[in-house]
Chain A
Amino acid sequence: MTLANRQGTGAVVPVERNDQRFRAGQGTAAGLSIVFRKFRKALFGKPNSDRSDTEGQFNVQYPEERLSLPEAYRNMPILLFDDATGHELCTSCFQCERVCPPQVIHITQAKDPATGKPVPSAAEFIIEYDTCMSCGYCAEVCPFDAIKMDHDYELSTSNHPELDVNYNRLLRPVSYYETIAPTLWNDVRESAMKKLQNNIKRRPGAIGVDHGQKVGAKAAPAAVARPADPAGAGASAVVPAAKRAPVAAIGKTMSEEKLAKLQSIRADNQAKRGGAGAPVDSAHAVEAAVGVQPDTAQVAAPDAATPGSVAPGATGPVAAVGTSMSEEKRAKLEAIRAAKRAQGGE
């Protein structure tokens, strides 16, 4: 019973079996020649680690050589903080905790010590890396672009509890994320920074920078040790596992200068809160937000530099934003603020 008859079509489909090639061993000979060509190309040909050819040596000798990861590569979630202010982008909105399929994200919301009211900032943030399945939902759902997927895949450890990563070790500066995913960050940078500014206004005192500061203090010695690495960025890809700090550290090294600035900001805040006795209202905060020191502010957008709104002595929580920003970024920020101010004024 043939297939054609069984199907009742009666149609006979001749199948080209190419038997002629197998008759005198040509098939085997062709196969052997293909395999030998592969051998020759892999052994003597040029390396093919960029996958430009279909033959040749594909292997990447892992600990010595690494493939450059695509920007959208995701491994484990990390949290971002602003380089300039040390403010964390996370507002503890619990979206990630809610969406997390294996439920490994645990957030505690920060509270204003004075009033006991919740503040848009996380007091503690724990992700169980050992159970995380790297789905990236948390990063996708985050309205503040505070949680992002890291590229660090060398997380193996002999200390299992180490994989319950706390806020300190989750935090990375925005500049770090910018290095691993420049275009992705470029897409969201403006809205993220804008939202951050808004949130900072609602964070009294040093809430929201605590963790960053702790990390900065802890990572200070590391910052000294790191530049001694001779090959710089190239060598950082070849850092042996022993030298690698658990999960934290990369880029979370604050310079002394920055630390000092942070301290001064905090002192200012303390004094202000003590003096005013009440949290700053939003209009005031807008005023304070643009309180950039005129000597450091290279204002690019002309409409942003309305002299009346610039109060030289006024240093709000956001005051230092922009001091260590690039020209371009600062200009953009100024433009945003100006637009906002105009909106608020009308």
Chain B
Amino acid sequence: MVETFQQTFGAPLWLAVVLASGLKVTLILVGGSLGMMFLTWYERRAIAYMQDRRGPNRVGPQGSLQPIAEAIKTMTKEDTTPLEADRVVHFLAPVVMLAATVLTFAIIPWGNLFPSDLSVGVLFFVAIGGLHTLGMLMAGWGSNNKFALLGGMRGVAQMVSYEIPQVMAVIPIVLMTGTMSMQRIVESQSGFGGLGWNVFTPVGFFAFALFFVASLAEGERTPFDIPEADSEIVAGYMTEYTGMKFAVFYLANYMTNLAICFITASIFLGGGNGPGVNELGGFLGGFLSLIYFFIKALFLFFIMVLIRATVPRLRVDQLMGFAWKFLLPLVLVNILSSALWVAIIRWDQQAQIFTQWFGAPGTADAPNFVRLGVAVAVTIMINLGALVMVMGLNNRASQARMHTTDEELALGL
């Protein structure tokens, strides 16, 4: 883009850089906000149909202008601050929250278009998630309200707990592709006629499921919407926010979910890869990849809505137990099996000594289906074994809690 500005307009380098960056940032900001607007409409329509309703269908064609009407409504509302609030923190909390969210959009590959190719893109995404937590705690503390503080503290506990499985779920992909750059990860999935997605490997599928579930908690989606549990603590950390500040929280929330969908689609579902993208190439291929990318992201968001419509909110202890007792062991085992996967598929690249012992594999680049089969079998075995074991352990514990034994009954305990 910088080159384009230099060549087309003959601008000096610094100006070209500034213009290109400004354009990118504008596109990201506008795209993110518009995406959030679309997402609110999309979620409300989808969940309405799940509940045998129709959802907003009055403003504009099929209610598609409803988010605009609501934006106008929130903007014209009074913006209040509690008297006893820490005014600076109270004001900054939504800003921090939104800033953290917008930053994640920097590394999202839009099909074949990359705003910035960060060499540590995955790490960046996870690290920015921590900032999100900070905004939540600021809102909870700054409001000087017991519900807000409770929500903020719950939020922090949840975020900290679920960041760990979230990060560790990506490690298998990083191991398999050997890179943390989002662009490189997406490119590595272009094999098999555009269908070499990570989710089609056993390790990748496992990682996808774990990452997506952990991300649901990160994005405060409904089974994990404990920080803003409206039936328990009013609106959680958003209790004391009105008007535009409240809307900014919602914007941040939905943009986070959008980013999660985009990131999941990029890392596990091949981003813009799909049949026909490489064949078409050029502008058309890029356009097709963008369409694939959006379809995948919206499909993921649909699953989010489906889960929201189905699963009731967890208790705080169930939430913590799920993260630490269920997700974390599985994620760790998945890292192990992904290491085995990499070793089986590419032993020649990892250690020359194996090549000396077992001979070189046919060709390193072309997929060797025997080794692929062995790798699939081994990883499936390990992962399923771990799943059964962890489920059994968790289940035994919950059975013990749930049931009174005969001895206990006899003793009248």
Contact = CB atoms under 8 A, between A and B. Distances in A.
Given A23-B391, A56-B52, A39 B310 contact: no
B368 interface: no
B309 A35 contact: yes
Which interface class (under 10, 10 to 19, 20 to 34, 35 or more) fits B?
A: 20 to 34
A5 B413 CA distance: 9
Nearest to B406: A12
A183 interface: no
B306 A2 contact: no
A4 B391 CA distance: 31
A31 B222 CA distance: 15
A24 B394 CA distance: 11
A200 B412 CA distance: 83
A59 B58 CA distance: 14
Contacts, number: 58
B391 A38 contact: no
B51 A38 contact: yes
Given A17-B402, A23-B391, A36-B306, A2 B52 contact: no
Contacts of A19: 395, 399, 402
Interface string A37-53: 01100110000100000
Nearest to A1: B412
A5 B412 contact: yes
A2 B409 contact: yes
A91 interface: no
Contacts of A34: 310
Contacts of B402: 17, 19
A42 B50 contact: yes
Given A24-B391, A42-B49, A58-B52, A31 B311 contact: yes
B54 A38 contact: no
The majority secondary structure among interface residues of chain B is: helix
Contacts of A5: 409, 412
A199 interface: no
B354 to A, nearest CB: 37
Contact of A58 (B53, B311, B412): B53
B247 interface: no
B321 to A, nearest CB: 14
A57 interface: yes
A28 B412 contact: no
A39 B399 contact: no
Nearest to A53: B52
B50 A2 contact: no
Interface in A54-78: 55-59, 61
A235 interface: no
A38 B52 contact: yes
A53 to B, nearest CB: 10
A35 B52 contact: no
Interface in A21-36: 23-24, 28, 31-32, 34-36
Nearest to B50: A39
A32 B52 contact: no
Contact of B310 (A23, A28, A56): A28
B391 A32 contact: no
Nearest to B223: A28
B309 A55 contact: no
A23 B395 contact: yes
Given A2-B404, A12-B409, A35-B50, 5 more contacts: A1-B412, A31-B311, A38-B51, A55-B52, A59-B52
Interface of A: 1-2, 4-5, 12, 17, 19, 23-24, 28, 31-32, 34-36, 38-39, 42-43, 48, 55-59, 61
19 contacts: A1-B413, A4-B409, A5-B412, A17-B402, A19-B395, A28-B310, A28-B311, A32-B310, A35-B309, A36-B50, A38-B49, A38-B50, A38-B51, A39-B50, A39-B306, A48-B52, A56-B52, A57-B53, A59-B53
Interface of B: 46, 49-54, 306-307, 309-311, 391, 395, 399, 402, 404, 408-409, 412-413
